[in-house]
Amino acid sequence: MTSLSSPVSTVTGPSPGCSSRGNEPPAFILPPRNARVSVGGVANLEGRVRGHPEPQVTWLREGRAVIGGERCVVERGGRGYFSLKVGGVREEDAGPYTCQATNQEGSRQVTVEILLEDKSMKTFFLSSSGKSGGRSSLWGESPPKFITKPSRLVAKLGETGSSSPRQRDAHPPTSHGTRGRRSFCPVGGS
């Protein structure tokens, strides 16, 4: 799998009959991100949520709650921090995981993936200090960076639209879009 897609987020409104005075629906301050890991490694999906009352965080896999156990640890720290750690990753662990934050004011979900590293893909390990052994990087030196960020693009079904973000990178960029659970590649894109 070589997908580098961003998390997908959905929001539902307040529950009927609830007072919203001083209350706040859940919001991901630091949404979890995809985890790329080798078979046998540890996948760490972590983030931070806020809301009042404090949101309850639940991890879902194929519509079912992920329960902590021998290989899975669901943690909740102070100040809205949360994580799901999957140890001894197996092929069947790869795929989407949904993090759901809920309180009486509403619910928000972010879906991320555990991605298995392709053994044939050359991967470099660089930390922020440049020493090996840190965070995995697919780019070698540094990831691509936007010089001008892409703007939001809204198009009705059948219409076309364009966006012209500029990036600084040694490799040509690839892009795709999503609508709901369907993804698409732009015309002329990759």
Q: The domain spanning residue 33 has which CATH number? A: 2.60.40.10
In a domain, residue 183? The reply is no
In a domain, residue 175? The reply is no
- For CA atoms 57, 60, 64, 67, give the dihedral sign: negative
In a domain, residue 16? The reply is yes
In a domain, residue 164? The reply is no
In a domain, residue 139? The reply is no
In a domain, residue 96? The reply is yes
> What six digits make up the tokens of 150?
């892409």
In a domain, residue 105? The reply is yes
Q: Please name which of 109, 111, 103 lies closest in space to residue 14, comparing C-alpha atoms.
A: 103
Taking only Cα atoms into account, the Rg of the chain, rounded to an integer number of angstroms, comes to: 19
In a domain, residue 138? The reply is no
Per-residue pLDDT tens digits of the chain, which is 190 residues long = 333 444 554 444 444 445 456 899 999 999 999 999 999 999 999 999 999 999 999 999 999 999 888 899 999 998 999 999 999 999 999 999 999 999 999 999 999 999 998 765 544 443 344 444 444 444 444 455 666 666 677 777 777 777 666 665 555 555 555 555 555 555 544 4
Could you give the CA distance from residue 153 to residue 146 in angstroms, rounded to a whole number?
16
Could you give the CA distance from residue 46 to residue 29 in angstroms, rounded to a whole number?
11
Instruction: List beta partners, residue 76.
Output: 82
Helix, strand, or coil (residue 93): helix
Centroid of chain to Cα 64? 18
What domain count does the chain have? 1
- Structural domain that includes position 43: 8-116
